[in-house]
Amino acid sequence: MPLTKYSLGSVRKGLRNPDLVWTELCKYLWSAHRTAYELRHGDGVDVMAEDWDDLLILDACRYDAFAARNRIDGTLESRLSAGSSSPGWIDANFSGETHHDTVYVSGNAFTADIGDDVFHAIYTVPPEPVTEAEAVDADAITNPEILEDSYVIRPETVVEKAIEAHERHPRKRLIVHFLQPHVPLIGETGLEIYQQIASEGDLSSLSRGGRGNRFGALNVQLYRVVEDDAFDIDIVDLRRAYAETLELVLPYAEQLTRELPGKSVISADHGELLGERLLPFTDRKYGHFEYLAADELRRVPWHIVDSDDRRRTVEEAPIESARMDEEEVTEKLRVLGYR
């Protein structure tokens, strides 16, 4: 077995382009960083093996942020997520398994990667356009037309779909996957940031791969914009925008703990980096990446809202789920900031 994957040609290419050498070195550094983290902390919780009737997932929710802002009755613990991104979390928890006693309601487009035989049913929540009333809700939004063609996945719509799913399948466990506090950051400070970006820049230049962005300001690649220093966005404002988006979704999670019978757990698929330096001399990191591991990404809330009214679940063969087609998935991934 060769000691290295690199050939003499690779060395020559690296000498001609030192940036390639730095890129490869970074890959090894982050791989070693992740390996060291997992050796110390383990692989993460198997959410399906835990005791709950309703599992409410807040996408990209850090444990520390939840602990600082949560006012929902219950017992707060923490767990180590099995992934640093939604695809990693989905793969670690559901790949190759069958949970025909469970229904999944999701505002996350990566749910499309789950096989048809894993759950009894999967219901997806579509993006919805931002209304003018919402656009002017923040005092600083003086030009609401800037947010035209912007889309969000509303927490209230997720709640509606979750209640409908429970009424349709009263003897099933229920996973409810909210999008927030994942980008787009839709609190007052977040809207101000998006307005700044839309006012000063070309939105089409901010879409991944150089393709035109068919969505408005809310759906630009926010963290890439911040990392590139394309605009003067203060890290304190960015963190405030994240916190406001978390505060926005918490009442909807609390509503489900009251309206759905049984024991509820509020957790997250992964956390979020908000300008931390994970290694000395490295750039600040924003967002989430499966190749990284750190407490800000892997430590998630596990907030237990207990109940004496437990559900008796039954397993039944999967039904045909309301899946999105490929174009819908692509559009939803744009809303998530991945396209």
pLDDT of residue 43: 82
Residues 45 and 81 sit within 8 Å (Cβ to Cβ): yes
Alpha helices in 139-219 (DSSP H): 155-168, 188-200
pLDDT of residue 300: 98
- Give kind and range of the element (H or E) at residue 179: none
- Give kind and range of the element (H or E) at residue 60: none
Q: Mention every residue, 6+ apart, whose C-beta is less than 8 A from residue 189.
A: 138, 237, 240, 241, 244
pLDDT of residue 35: 81
DSSP state of 230: -
Q: Which amino acid is at 91?
A: D
Q: Which residues pair with 303 in a beta bridge?
A: 76, 266
Give, for all 339 residues of the chain, the pLDDT tens digit.
333 455 555 555 545 666 666 566 666 677 777 788 888 887 899 999 999 999 999 999 999 999 999 999 999 999 999 999 999 999 999 999 999 999 999 999 899 889 989 999 999 998 888 776 665 555 545 566 666 677 889 999 999 999 999 999 999 999 999 999 999 998 889 888 888 887 776 666 665 444 344 456 777 788 888 888 778 889 999 999 999 999 999 999 999 999 999 999 999 999 999 999 887 878 899 999 888 888 999 999 999 999 999 999 999 999 976 555 566 656 655 655 555
Dist CA 283 CA 304 (whole Å) = 36
Region at 159 (left for phi over 0; alpha for psi -120 to 50; beta for the rest): alpha
pLDDT of residue 243: 98
Cα-based distances in Å from 58 to 88, 91, 100, 120, 182: 15, 17, 23, 22, 8
Residue in 333, 260, 304, 339 with CA at minimum distance from that of residue 110: 333
Region at 149 (left for phi over 0; alpha for psi -120 to 50; beta for the rest): left
Dist CA 254 CA 251 (whole Å) = 5
Q: Which two structure tokens, joined as six digits, stand for 319?
A: 């039904």
Token pair 């989905």: residue: 90
pLDDT of residue 48: 98
Cα-based distances in Å from 132 to 46, 138, 305: 42, 11, 36
